[in-house]
Structure 1
Amino acid sequence: MKLGKRTRDIWESFFYWWGRRSLQSRLIAAYIFIILGPCLMVSFYSYKAINNTYFKDAIDKNSYLLQMEKLHINNQVEAMERAVQMAYEDKEVQDYLANTEEPDLVELVDFNTNVFTNMTRIQYNNPNIEHLRLYSNSNVHEISPIIFRESRVASEPWYQKAEKLKGKFSWSFLNSDRDLLERFYGQKPKLVPKVSLLREMSIPADNHIGMVQVDMLLERFTPKTYTTVQDSQSQMLLVDGEMQLFTRPDHSFLQENRKMAAAITDRLQSYNKTGNWDIHYTENGKSFLFINTPLDRIDAHLLNVVSMEGVMKEISHTRNLIIGVNIGFIILVTVIAYVLNAFILKNLRRLTETMKKVRRGEAYTGITIRGGGEVGELAHHFSKLMNTINTLVAQAVQKQALSKEAELRTLHNQIDAHFLYNTLENIKMLAEMENQRTISDALTSLGGMMRYNFKWSGEYVKLRDEVRHIENYIEVMNIRFEYPIVLKLRIEAHYLELEVLKMSLQPIVENSVKHAWTGDKEEMKERIICIDISESEGDIFIAVHDNGIGLTAERLATLNESVYAVKEEQPAASFSGTGANNPRASGIGLRNVHQRLQLFYGGAYGLEVQSEPGKWTTVFMTLPKVLLTGDKQP
């Protein structure tokens, strides 16, 4: 009770003191209080958004570097597997390793001239491969540096591991590249980490005759892991199936953070069991990110350890900047409010002084307040304010109604789209029940086209999505033609991840389908549309080529003029076909694509049409090499 009474007394004293303050002081305090709350909220959410952005950018950037390194490792894995396979499948090598009798001089010379030379050529054709070795369990002649007796390495754990796999690929990571000819002379092995691929040879089955081994130094196998470029922000590590860590020896995070290696091992073991990965790590007051990607083909993991020290400094600087801006803003607003209030309340103070004089009994001499006095001015402005507020409320209600209407229209469109998808699926099921595979496949392609058209979440899509839409379009259109169109894609896999404008290739292919061939029954040649991709100086060139009837020089010039025209003046000629059978054909679709490319990428990009009458027509599209994040690649 006493505590409650004391609290009540404090509040009453405060309100009494507050009530005795001048109106100007209370207005300034109210301004500060009103501004302070939104400023703190905006600053908090801005800081949080900036913090998340910094972390996301760091993760995206280093994840991209990690994936690029993984792609390089996969290429090296394929090269090593190919080398092992070539040596493994060589019949003369198998016969030599399985030979239990001493070969004569002629056989040795012939083997050295032919087979040994071929084995040497395998290594020369793959300069990243450090060693190609063949081990035999018989007493065959050793031919350095490729053919050795198995007894030299039979006791090595990595050799015994490969022998137990019975013909399957065995990957081993070693911290030293120990030379076979030096290991029996007491010399120290070279501290050069390497990776070895071994495959046991059994001919016939369960008859062990030897082993094939291919070695590659880790600095070539994963160059970014052993890069000599000093980078204090990130470090890549390779972790094999036995939880050995391989990385550059100098400027390593592992030297400064002794517990990091154990933490990486524990998290990888947990990841292998549960599939869950914890990306955040802190040691010695420093924050790190562990970005991991598995290398399933070699039973290993590639890890990018990213130091967040620089990012945290930038975040701290941004936080201090936000606080400083808020403090400066509040001070500026306080000064402005004080000056404005002093000016605005001047007449009110005069009126107050006059009223005090009258209350003291002094004769009232009147007061002249321009604009009808403070009360009249206040009422006048209040009326204006109310009118403005009502107008704003009406506008807000109207905007809200329009927003609801747009939401309902969007929902209605989604319902219609889902209705169409479900209807197509039902028809497709009926076609499959009637064993009408052609109709079922056509409905599948048509459904894919509809989903691609309806789902417009942005201007940019992956190239693979645009190509898949074109494939669906060709499959649907081939139902109409007696002679189907063959779509040939000569696109390397990594280009399918490029960012392109949605519906930029489909209009070009559609023009080819509609106008490249006359449709005469006498025209019996195979109808082909090819899509090729090349790259030069950071730009991507996409060529859509058809073997149709082509364009004359006059019609080609007219078409290019129409494509490059800023405004549509008159119908132009089709980019394929003579035009006699297509009087309404035009280059509007090409011009629209060209203008979209220039709008989104700049004037240096767009379309170019080339053709040879009676033979072919090709449309070249030029665009920058852009990732899905929208960053132009060098």
Structure 2
Amino acid sequence: MRLKRIIRRIYRWFSRLSLQNKLVFLYTTLFMIPVLLLVFVLSHEFYENVISDTIRDNEYSIEMEKIQVQKNIEAMRESAQTLISDKNMIQFVSDRRDKDVDELIEFQNNHIDTKEQQLVNPLIDYTQFYIDDPDLIEMWPLLFRESRINEKPWYDKVLEHNGTEVWWLKKEDYGLLTNIPDENPKISLFREVMDSHNNHLGIIEISMLQRNFFPKMYSPIPDGQSEIFIINQQDEVFTNPANNFLREHKFKRKQYDELFQRLTKDKTDSFIYNNHNVPYLIVSTVIDELNMKMVNVISLEKIDTETRKVRYLTFIIAIVLLIILSTLTYVITSLLLKKMYKLIENMKQVEQGDFTVKIDIDGRDEFSTLAIHFRNMLRKINQLIADAVHKQAVSKDTELRALKTQIDSHFLYNTLENIKMMAEIEGKYEISDALTSLGAMMRYNIKWKNEFVVISEEITQIKHYVAIMNLRLDRELDLDIVIPDELLSQEILKLSLQPIVENAIKHGIEPRETNTKGKIIVNAYREGQSVFVEIIDNGVGMDENQLMQINNKIVHDDNHEVQRQSGNGIGLKNVHNRIILFYGKEFGLQVNSKKGEYTSVIIKLPYLLIRGANEHV
């Protein structure tokens, strides 16, 4: 309702504007709407294209990082498998007996040093084997007692995995020999090792610096507008300590939790995230081997700012053009509407009663044409005023004639009623009934308030007509009405059935030479959205030539020629023309007949029920 009131107020305000101001308003509005749409579409398309390029570039970048990570995973796995597959190593550490010094030195020189050379990988920080033997003589930097690590947070988790690999991100590490914290974060691969009897032997640890394992995450950011971080299985965040992007952009625990929910819920590789009214592009990938997620956060603030600048600049240009267009429109419309304002002044003079005003407007444009027509109208008005006095006198005479006609019709009805009463007093009931039918027919014909009636009213008129004709033909006519109740309220043109019945009696039944009674059947039926009314008589009928002539006469285009002709097609032609006039050319009459047997006239009408009509037959 409030919107409707606003629209009405705008409409009233617009209606009160002059034509010149309306044109200026329309021109500027029609200019601004496409400009605003164009600005919006172009800026949106520009923004979407930049976002698409950014997504594509960063998805490619993070995929390349993932490929490098997978190579490092394979390198660490290969080192672990090399150590586990060394039977001499496994046999040596599985032997729990006390070993002499010579045996230990020989194993150190001939096996530990050789194994170190086999495990040399420039990216791997260290490889350590923790043996579940409290009496083990440790051989640095490879063999250590398992008791050194049984308090580590990853120790129990490795044992739970029963020999399968466990990956662990370390934010800091402590040297086993020095116990000095190493601030370089590492990633470690842990695997439980079993002896030949499938008993727990120890744990292998392969560690690599995170800067080597995630090279791009630890690389300098060229524009400082993005940063890569890792989410481990415990939803802990690991970032490059040297990068300050996330800290500067106020990414705290709350923001990380929101990102975790989006990454878990949407399961999409990229989406837009807003933090403190700044949009960020989030591109992620899952490292299945580690069961970790790698996420790249890219700030879109610069892109958003550039898009707004382009949009604002376009708006400013559009406003300048709008001002120029409004000024030009106002000047041009002033020149164009000069004649219109002059014509309005002349019309005001005519409105005040001066019909002799001189309209001095020349030219060939629309307003000049309007002025010419206005001058012609003034001449006709003056001529009409001159004729008004004469027509006023004629009008009085017409009113008197109309009153006389009304009095005559009432006199006629009263006279018929008196004759009817006299016939009933004399016992002439047939004459009385005929007068009743005649009076009803006259009232039906004279009372012409509408072109349309219902079929039931037309049937009543036909019954009155047949009653009168039976008086003249000595009751030789039978009338059968076969119409469903639902079609009694069907719309039909007034006096469209009586001419057909009259035509059937005059040209079909009366010329017969047989002594059988004449019969007229009126039925109606519906097919789809059409209603068909059929009037059948058992008269003399027509041969094929006569039938063709009568149908041609009904659909003949030259009405004046048909009216000059005689025969039984004139009444049918008039009914057919009225039906076409009111309902269209797809409706009308069609005549079917057989010589010596019958004649049928079918009327096709649209299915139109008059609701609430009084149905009586």
Tell me the TM-score normalized by structure 1: 0.50
Residues 1:76 and 2:72 aligned together? yes
The amino acid of 2:99's aligned partner reads P
CA apart distance, 1:148: 1.8
The amino acid of 2:128's aligned partner reads R
**Residue 135 of structure 1, aligned match among 119, 130, 144:** 130
Match of 2:198 in 1: 206
Tell me, in whole angstroms, the C-alpha distance in 2 between the residues paired with 1:140 and 1:64: 49
**Residue 64 of structure 1, aligned match among 41, 47, 60:** 60
The question of whether the paired residues in 2 share the 8 Å contact of 1:200 and 1:210 is answered with yes
Number of matched residues? 366
Instruction: Give 1:9-408 correspondences, 5 Å limit.
Output: 14=13, 17-18=16-17, 21=18, 23-124=19-120, 126-138=121-133, 139-183=135-179, 187=180, 189-229=181-221, 231-256=223-248, 260-265=252-257, 267-268=259-260, 271=263, 275=267, 279-341=271-333, 369=363, 372=364
Please list every run of at least 4 consecutive aligned residues from structure 1 whose deviation after the TM superposition is greater than 6 angstroms: 6-13, 346-368
The question of whether the paired residues in 2 share the 8 Å contact of 1:51 and 1:315 is answered with yes
The amino acid of 1:179's aligned partner reads G
Q: Secondary structure in 2 aligned to 1:200?
A: strand
The question of whether the paired residues in 2 share the 8 Å contact of 1:232 and 1:307 is answered with no
The amino acid of 2:183's aligned partner reads L
Q: Secondary structure in 2 aligned to 1:298?
A: coil
Instruction: Give 1:420-459 correspondences, 5 Å limit.
Output: none
CA apart distance, 1:171: 0.7
CA apart distance, 1:249: 2.0
CA apart distance, 1:177: 2.6
> Cα 1:89–1:8, aligned 2, differ >3 Å: closer, same or farther?
closer
Q: Secondary structure in 1 aligned to 2:42?
A: helix
Tell me, in whole angstroms, the C-alpha distance in 1 between the residues paired with 2:10 and 2:221: 66
CA apart distance, 1:128: 0.8
> Cα 1:127–1:7, aligned 2, differ >3 Å: closer, same or farther?
closer
CA apart distance, 1:133: 1.4
Q: Which deviates more from structure 2 when the two are superposed, residues 111-120 or residues 88-97?
A: 111-120
Task: Give CA-to-partner distance per residue, 1:98-146, whole Å, 9 cap, x none.
Answer: 121233455444433443233222443x211100112222334322222
Task: Give CA-to-partner distance per residue, 1:584-627, whole Å, 9 cap, x none.
Answer: xxxxxxxxxxxxxxxxxxxxxxxxxxxxxxxxxxxxxxxxxxxx
Tell me, in whole angstroms, the C-alpha distance in 2 between the residues paired with 1:92 and 1:9: 96
Q: Which deviates more from structure 2 when the two are superposed, residues 213-222 or residues 231-240?
A: 231-240
The question of whether the paired residues in 1 share the 8 Å contact of 2:164 and 2:191 is answered with yes
> Cα 1:304–1:14, aligned 2, differ >3 Å: closer, same or farther?
closer
> Cα 1:141–1:273, aligned 2, differ >3 Å: closer, same or farther?
farther
Tell me, in whole angstroms, the C-alpha distance in 1 between the residues paired with 2:6 and 2:271: 49
CA apart distance, 1:197: 0.4
The question of whether the paired residues in 2 share the 8 Å contact of 1:28 and 1:334 is answered with yes
Task: Give CA-to-partner distance per residue, 1:210-267, whole Å, 9 cap, x none.
Answer: 2221100111111222234464311110111122211122443443466633442464
Tell me, in whole angstroms, the C-alpha distance in 2 between the residues paired with 1:97 and 1:140: 8
RMSD: 3.9
> Cα 1:44–1:205, aligned 2, differ >3 Å: closer, same or farther?
farther
Tell me the TM-score normalized by structure 2: 0.52
Tell me, in whole angstroms, the C-alpha distance in 2 between the residues paired with 1:160 and 1:10: 77
Tell me, in whole angstroms, the C-alpha distance in 1 between the residues paired with 2:117 and 2:10: 94
What runs of 5+ residues in structure 1 fail to find an aligned partner?
379-634
CA apart distance, 1:363: 10
The amino acid of 2:107's aligned partner reads F
> Cα 1:251–1:157, aligned 2, differ >3 Å: closer, same or farther?
closer
> Cα 1:200–1:350, aligned 2, differ >3 Å: closer, same or farther?
same
> Cα 1:90–1:266, aligned 2, differ >3 Å: closer, same or farther?
farther
Tell me, in whole angstroms, the C-alpha distance in 2 between the residues paired with 1:232 and 1:376: 71
The amino acid of 1:128's aligned partner reads L
The amino acid of 2:111's aligned partner reads V
CA apart distance, 1:51: 3.5
What runs of 5+ residues in structure 2 fail to find an aligned partner?
371-617
Tell me, in whole angstroms, the C-alpha distance in 2 between the residues paired with 1:179 and 1:197: 17
The question of whether the paired residues in 1 share the 8 Å contact of 2:217 and 2:240 is answered with yes
Task: Give CA-to-partner distance per residue, 1:342-382, whole Å, 9 cap, x none.
Answer: 5656777788899999999999797775xx5566899xxxx
> Cα 1:311–1:357, aligned 2, differ >3 Å: closer, same or farther?
same
- Work out which of the two has the higher radius of gyration on C-alpha atoms and give 1 or 2: 2
The question of whether the paired residues in 2 share the 8 Å contact of 1:199 and 1:213 is answered with yes
The question of whether the paired residues in 1 share the 8 Å contact of 2:172 and 2:186 is answered with yes
Tell me, in whole angstroms, the C-alpha distance in 2 between the residues paired with 1:267 and 1:78: 29
**Percent sequence identity over aligned pairs:** 27
> Cα 1:351–1:305, aligned 2, differ >3 Å: closer, same or farther?
same
Tell me, in whole angstroms, the C-alpha distance in 1 between the residues paired with 2:321 and 2:123: 62
Tell me, in whole angstroms, the C-alpha distance in 2 between the residues paired with 1:347 and 1:266: 70
Tell me, in whole angstroms, the C-alpha distance in 1 between the residues paired with 2:366 and 2:286: 76
Tell me, in whole angstroms, the C-alpha distance in 1 between the residues paired with 2:98 and 2:288: 43
Q: Which deviates more from structure 2 when the two are superposed, residues 77-86 or residues 144-153?
A: 144-153
Task: Give CA-to-partner distance per residue, 1:557-592, whole Å, 9 cap, x none.
Answer: xxxxxxxxxxxxxxxxxxxxxxxxxxxxxxxxxxxx
CA apart distance, 1:85: 0.8
The amino acid of 2:152's aligned partner reads E
Q: Secondary structure in 2 aligned to 1:297?
A: coil
The amino acid of 1:252's aligned partner reads N
Q: Secondary structure in 1 aligned to 2:45?
A: helix
CA apart distance, 1:77: 0.8
The question of whether the paired residues in 1 share the 8 Å contact of 2:32 and 2:322 is answered with yes
CA apart distance, 1:12: 9.0
Q: Which deviates more from structure 2 when the two are superposed, residues 134-143 or residues 172-181?
A: 134-143
The question of whether the paired residues in 2 share the 8 Å contact of 1:177 and 1:191 is answered with yes
Tell me, in whole angstroms, the C-alpha distance in 1 between the residues paired with 2:197 and 2:256: 41
The question of whether the paired residues in 1 share the 8 Å contact of 2:171 and 2:185 is answered with yes
The question of whether the paired residues in 2 share the 8 Å contact of 1:99 and 1:140 is answered with no
